[in-house]
Structure 1
Amino acid sequence: MEFDTSMRWTLHPRVSLRPEPFGAMAYHYDNRRLNFLRSPDLVELVENLGDFENVDAGLATLPATRRPAFTKALAALAGSSFLTPAPTIRAESTNSQNRCEGTKQHPNPDPHSEALEATRGGAPAPTMRAESNNDNTD
């Protein structure tokens, strides 16, 4: 995959950064590669890259004269799988928070949330008993 600065990238979850006086050593546990990040500013950018909307937004925090070198370094890290594409950040609109009057929509409803919802309505929550095939009563 070509490194696209208009995309959002993040440090691969199987990469570990070890701080060093010169910047950091990066080790990828899957491909067993070692990389040296030779600038504390590059280390900070790599650590926080996933917090930006895209790479361009992260690079904008640096002086313009340093951006080409940092872009090249990030592209090399992505090329060796130290960086991975990150999910896009979606802006939440205020209207999507409460779509129906009086109810809040959850993106991933918990199938076991009936007990919680019952307590909100004033009724006592049902109690749940764990069933066991073991008849031992110690």
Structure 2
Amino acid sequence: MRRVLIMSAPASASVAGNAGIDLDVGWKLHPQVALRPEPFGALLYHFGTRKLSFLKNRTIVAVVEALPSHADARSALRAQGIGDNTAAQYARALGTLAESHMIVPA
């Protein structure tokens, strides 16, 4: 099954309503997920669920790659130059990844 990352509101227990993931929690790639950089962004493949996701924005790729090295998602966003005024759209995108188990709480 192919999945395209669309910045929509997820519905998972680790997700804060329509705002996306909880930015004050640490996140990381699921241990069974591989990220492969591509000219358009990146591919994420989950070996456990066999799901494929496309990240069509290099900024979200940089955020996902930065997640494990930061205490929380908000810090990872700020490290990529994403301020609080635009954090909500990235929180929704990360929420989509969390809903599909591509990223998990650290």
State the TM-score, normalized to the length of structure 2: 0.74
Tell me what 1:84 maps to. 104
- Is the strand fraction higher in 1 or 2? 2
Map 1:35-54 → 2, pairs under 5 A: 35-54=53-72
* Structure with the larger RCO, 1 or 2 (CA within 8 Å, 6+ apart): 2
Three-state SS of the structure 1 residue aligned to 2:71 is coil
Q: Aligned equivalents of 1:57 and 1:19: distance in 2?
A: 22
Deviation at 1:2, TM superposition (A): 2.0
Tell me what 2:92 maps to. 72
Deviation at 1:58, TM superposition (A): 1.1
Deviation at 1:69, TM superposition (A): 1.7
Runs of at least 5 residues in structure 2 that lack an aligned partner in the other structure: 1-12, 16-21
Tell me what 2:14 maps to. 2
CA shift in 2, pair 1:66/1:50, >3 Å:
same
State the TM-score, normalized to the length of structure 1: 0.58
Percent of matched pairs sharing the same residue: 37
Runs of at least 5 residues in structure 1 that lack an aligned partner in the other structure: 87-138
Q: Aligned equivalents of 1:77 and 1:50: distance in 2?
A: 15
Q: Aligned equivalents of 2:48 and 2:70: distance in 1?
A: 25
Q: Aligned equivalents of 1:37 and 1:73: distance in 2?
A: 9
Q: How many residues align?
A: 86
Q: Aligned equivalents of 2:48 and 2:59: distance in 1?
A: 26
The one-letter code matched in structure 2 to 1:68 is A
Mapped pair 1:31 → 2:63: no
RMSD across aligned positions (CA): 1.3
Relative to structure 2, which stretch is displaced further, 76-85 or 63-72?
Answer: 63-72
Q: Aligned equivalents of 2:75 and 2:82: distance in 1?
A: 12
Note the alpha carbon deviations across 1:72-106, whole angstroms, 9 max, x for none.
110110111000111xxxxxxxxxxxxxxxxxxxx
Instruction: State which structure, 1 or 2, has the greater radius of gyration over its C-alpha atoms.
Output: 1
